């Protein structure tokens, strides 16, 4: 049934935000990170402070962890779920939770999105798309990723002869994953710009505390995207191609018990997840390497390290900062009790700086032997479906960029996207030639980015 956007915002965002702000005022770090935008610029000291309070912080509203051991255990435990059922709540709260979801145009973190459902539903959806993203299937895409990277770099070289300054996000970090995922899914090129617009508007729905205008804009983008996917799937059903979306479109005819909203949800998640995060891996990686020229030098001398470097970026400046689970029954995590119905916020980016697992965790080290142990792709049954693809795109994009423009330099202060869960850059001005910035100006840019 359709719900008014205002009502859904009040239940999904306003109510939880008020509760989180109260806990933040009382000094809890997790709620502070969720609601105070001034912490988003550099959340790492907050994760360290949270870990110093203990492996698992039992907050008033939610529990939170920045420990690698606790995060891994929660993510891998069948007791912790994503599909929040209201059964353990009092009747009024139960009614409110039912009002909170739009079952016609669900977002990436709302059921029936794969991210927001548990087995057996989750197993069914994931099986439909997983074949296309196995490590083997993805390895075959490498030449195509390289070709697209080369084309974009050619265009950048051309543009930079006319304008010294370029936006790395717009010219490279964003179009590369958009073109790849669109080709896998069979989304025509004339839709790419529209996809980016919808994806960027909807990305905020992963965040915990949204203002009404932002929530409304995201709801409108999701509605438009669902309507387009619905019509696109119908067209593909009549005239299927050889792409993933066509395979999904004909499933209903092949007797799979999936309705059109479920199909659209799978397609919407894979499309959005396919580029909204990888764009950040690429731009966060460029930033990390510009800030650490010694590490870039190591990669120049040993290009076999680029794959490890992509994992080190995922660890050091994680494109997905956090996720959450709730306990379906009374349980224990690493010896700490968690009551049924409790939410645990898992600071993936905090776990990635846990000194119990990573030696000198705040150092950016492309040779780090266990860089791949990061939780940037989560763990357990929701482990990122596109991890192999993201790793490939990240490694190829960074290597090709620095091979083509060895003297790439910042040309202004990059600005971060105003998001809590996803972390990346909105604008990233670069010039492919070296700047004549003084050492002091360079240091200033480093600190502000």
When binding is defined by CB under 6 A, the residue of 186, 350, 386, 432 that contacts ligand HEM is: 386
Three-state DSSP class for residue 46 = helix
Site residues (CB under 6 A) for ligand HEM, limited to 123-182: 126, 133, 181
When binding is defined by CB under 6 A, the residue of 169, 389, 392, 397 that contacts ligand HEM is: 389
DSSP letter (8 states) at residue 40? T
How near is the Cβ of 281 to ligand HEM at its closest, in Å?
4
- How many Cβ atoms sit within 10 Å of the Cβ of residue 344? 26
385 lies in the binding site for ligand HEM (CB under 6 A): yes
For ligand HEM, the closer of residues 133 and 316 by Cβ is 133
Are 31 and 63 a contacting pair, CB within 8 Å? no
Burial of 440 (0-12, 13-18, 19+ CB in 10 A): exposed
Q: Inter-axis angle of helices 175-185 and 387-404, to 10 degrees?
A: 140
Q: What mask, x for binding ligand HEM by CB under 6 A, covers residues 107 to 126?
A: -------xx----------x
For ligand HEM, the closer of residues 265 and 435 by Cβ is 265
Question: Nearest CA to 281 among 402, 404, 203, 392?
Answer: 392
When binding is defined by CB under 6 A, the residue of 377, 402, 405, 425 that contacts ligand HEM is: 377
17 lies in the binding site for ligand HEM (CB under 6 A): no
Return d(Cα 206, Cα 107) in angstroms, integer.
Answer: 9
Q: How many residues bind ligand HEM (CB under 6 A)?
A: 25
How near is the Cβ of 381 to ligand HEM at its closest, in Å?
6
Partners of 64 in the β-ladder:
57, 345
How near is the Cβ of 149 to ligand HEM at its closest, in Å?
15
278 lies in the binding site for ligand HEM (CB under 6 A): yes
- Give me the phi and psi of 430, to 5 degrees please: -130, 160
How near is the Cβ of 7 to ligand HEM at its closest, in Å?
26
Q: What mask, x for binding ligand HEM by CB under 6 A, covers residues 253 to 272?
A: ----------------xx--
How near is the Cβ of 377 to ligand HEM at its closest, in Å?
5
Return d(Cα 196, Cα 212) in angstroms, integer.
Answer: 22
Which residues in 105-120 are b (16+ Cβ under 10 Å) and which e? bbbbbbbbbbbbbbee
For ligand HEM, the closer of residues 12 and 435 by Cβ is 12
390 lies in the binding site for ligand HEM (CB under 6 A): yes
In DSSP notation, 244-271 reads: HHHHHHTTTTTT----HHHHHHHHHHHH
For 107-172, strand residue ranges (E) read: 166-167
How near is the Cβ of 388 to ligand HEM at its closest, in Å?
9
DSSP letter (8 states) at residue 435? P
277 lies in the binding site for ligand HEM (CB under 6 A): yes
How near is the Cβ of 223 to ligand HEM at its closest, in Å?
21
Summarize as ranges the residues that interact with ligand HEM (CB under 6 A): 114-115, 126, 133, 181, 269-270, 273-274, 277-278, 281, 314, 319-320, 323, 376-378, 382, 384-386, 389-390
């Amino acid at each position: 049934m359709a719900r008014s956007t205002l009502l859904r915002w009040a239940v999904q965002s306003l109510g939880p935000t008020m509760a989180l702000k109260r806990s933040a005022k009382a000094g809890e770090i997790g709620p502070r990170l969720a609601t105070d935008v001034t912490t988003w610029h550099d959340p790492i000291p907050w994760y360290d402070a949270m870990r110093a309070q203990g492996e698992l912080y039992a907050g008033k509203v939610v529990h939170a962890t920045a420990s690698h051991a606790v995060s891994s255990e929660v993510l891998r435990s069948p007791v912790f779920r994503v599909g929040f059922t209201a059964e353990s709540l009092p009747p009024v709260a139960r009614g409110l939770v039912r009002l909170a979801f739009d079952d016609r145009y669900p977002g990436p973190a709302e059921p029936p999105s794969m991210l927001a459902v548990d087995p057996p539903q989750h197993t069914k959806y994931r099986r439909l798309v997983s074949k296309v993203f196995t490590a083997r299937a993805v390895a075959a895409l490498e030449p195509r990723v390289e070709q697209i990277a080369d084309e974009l770099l050619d265009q950048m070289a051309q543009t930079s002869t006319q304008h010294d300054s370029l936006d790395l996000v717009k010219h490279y970090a964003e179009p590369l994953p958009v073109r790849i995922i669109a080709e896998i899914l069979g989304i025509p090129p004339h839709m790419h710009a529209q996809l980016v617009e919808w994806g960027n508007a909807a990305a905020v729905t992963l965040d915990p505390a949204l203002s009404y205008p932002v929530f409304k804009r995201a709801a409108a983008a999701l509605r438009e995207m669902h309507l387009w996917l619905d019509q696109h799937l119908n067209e593909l059903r009549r005239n299927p191609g050889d792409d993933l979306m066509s395979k999904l479109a004909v499933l209903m005819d092949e007797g799979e018990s999936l309705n059109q909203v479920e199909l659209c949800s799978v397609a919407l998640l894979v499309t959005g997840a396919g580029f909204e995060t990888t764009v950040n891996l690429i731009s966060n990686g460029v930033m990390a390497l510009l800030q650490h020229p010694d590490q870039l030098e190591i990669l120049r001398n040993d290009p076999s390290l680029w794959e490890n470097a992509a994992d080190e970026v995922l660890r050091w400046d994680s494109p997905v900062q956090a996720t959450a689970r709730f306990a379906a029954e009374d349980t224990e995590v690493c010896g700490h009790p968690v009551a049924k119905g409790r939410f645990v916020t898992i600071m993936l980016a905090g776990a990635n700086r846990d000194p119990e697992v990573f030696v000198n965790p705040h150092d950016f080290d492309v040779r780090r032997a266990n860089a791949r142990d990061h939780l940037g792709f989560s763990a357990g049954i929701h482990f990122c479906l596109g991890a192999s693809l993201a790793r490939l795109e990240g490694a190829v994009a960074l290597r090709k960029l620095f091979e083509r423009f060895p003297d790439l330099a910042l040309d202004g202060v990059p600005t971060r996207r105003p998001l809590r869960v996803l972390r990346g850059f909105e604008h990233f001005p670069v010039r492919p030639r070296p700047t004549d910035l003084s050492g002091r100006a360079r240091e200033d840019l480093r600190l502000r980015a």
